[in-house]
Amino acid sequence: MKDKNKSRILIVEDEEAIRTGLVDVFVYHGYDVDYADHGDDGLSKALTGEFDLILLDVMLPGMNGFDICNNIREQSRDQAIIMLTAKSSDEDIIEGLTLGADDYVAKPFSVAQLVLRVEAVLRRTASTQMQSQKIELGDDVVIDCLNLSCERAGENLSFTRREIDILQYLHINNERPVSRDELLNKVWGYASDLDLETRTVDIHMAKLRRKIETNPTVPEYLITVRGAGYRLVS
């Protein structure tokens, strides 16, 4: 029987030793855990909408992790997803985040750090601190935060929950630049003293610029303040 008081995690991983270890770890930490060892089975379970977070390996038999992530995002922009990638593959990291994963963890990984990052993503997903419902940028961009959508010069675009969280935080603090570390702390929920090697912020910023900027290479709204961070200029 499912425990409604526990967060539910789906682990999609074909390597038995890793999968079994992760199941044991997250059960020990109080989660309700299910798993899949094949891409097609993983997608089928993921699309039930029963899971608070999905840990998704890239290399899987059947459907790979990228295709699973893409299929999930077509149906649910709120679903929390962390991808497990090969440490040496920048391409995996960029593609996974571009398709809408909330974060990635590179193999081989520290189990303790993975648990912290799962906890952080779940905290952020459950948070209701940011209340902005609409963000207007210039005369052409109107972002609907509740419906995870945007109208830019008559074109309708969609966002993931993480992208909206970033824009809301920058909007609330638009009088100053916000550092990469502050975004990891306040938006991703990572502890300030957690030493992370991650390109998550940079890749999300590039994705957001492609959506809200007329010319992403010369941004008008989401600007970089050299040595200080990012500002959202309305």
Please name every residue paired with 55 in a beta bridge, in sequence order, or none if there are none: 11, 82
Q: For residue 183, what is the DSSP state? A: H
Q: Give pLDDT, residue 128.
A: 46
The pLDDT > 90 percentage for the chain reads 56
Does the model's pTM come out above 0.75? Answer: no
- Kindly report, residue by residue over 45-69, the tens digit of the pLDDT: 999 989 999 999 999 999 999 999 9
User: Rounded to whole angstroms, how far apart are CA atoms 219 and 132?
Assistant: 22
Q: Which residues have CB under 8 Å from 89's CB, separation 6+?
A: 58
Of 51-65, 187-201, 218-232, give the lowest mean pLDDT range: 187-201
DSSP-assigned letters across all residues of 37-81:
SSHHHHHHHHTT---SEEEEESS-SSS-HHHHHHHHHHH-SS-EE
User: Rounded to whole angstroms, how far apart are CA atoms 119 and 113?
Assistant: 10
Which residue segments constitute the domains of the chain, with CATH numbers given?
8-126 (3.40.50.2300), 134-232 (1.10.10.10)
- Kindly report, residue by residue over 52-111, the tens digit of the pLDDT: 999 999 999 999 999 999 999 988 888 999 999 886 677 788 888 888 898 889 888 889
